[in-house]
Amino acid sequence: MLDVIHNRPGGTSWVTSETGEMDKSLLESMFGEHWRAQQAEDSDVAACNSKTRELSSQDLFGGNREVIIQHGIDAYRLQITGSGKLLLTK
């Protein structure tokens, strides 16, 4: 028998009053949320472990405020704005 029954937001209990067992739909919901959160975390870890090349903006700009990036036949201008943000234009 349970000593304490915690309440969920909205006033419904975490357990059924007759059996003292957790509500099945609540368990499914909690598991689903946990599973989705775990999948997102696993994706983040995989992305960090990938072979993505990382550059500091200082290395990329080399003291300038803009660089031209050639991508195929197109040229893109990457600029540091007055507020310190990056702006990419074609």
Q: Are residues 69 and 38 located together in one domain of the fold?
A: no
**Average pLDDT per block of 10 residues along the chain, 90 residues long:** 48 53 63 72 68 87 93 94 94
Q: Are residues 46 and 66 located together in one domain of the fold?
A: no
Q: Are residues 6 and 32 located together in one domain of the fold?
A: yes
Q: What is the pTM assigned to this prediction? A: 0.44
> In the prediction, which pLDDT does 55 show?
87
CA angle 61, 66, 68 (to 5 degrees): 95
> Can you tell me which residue has the tokens 């990457």?
78
39 contacts 21 by C-beta, under 8 angstroms: no
Q: Are residues 8 and 45 located together in one domain of the fold?
A: yes
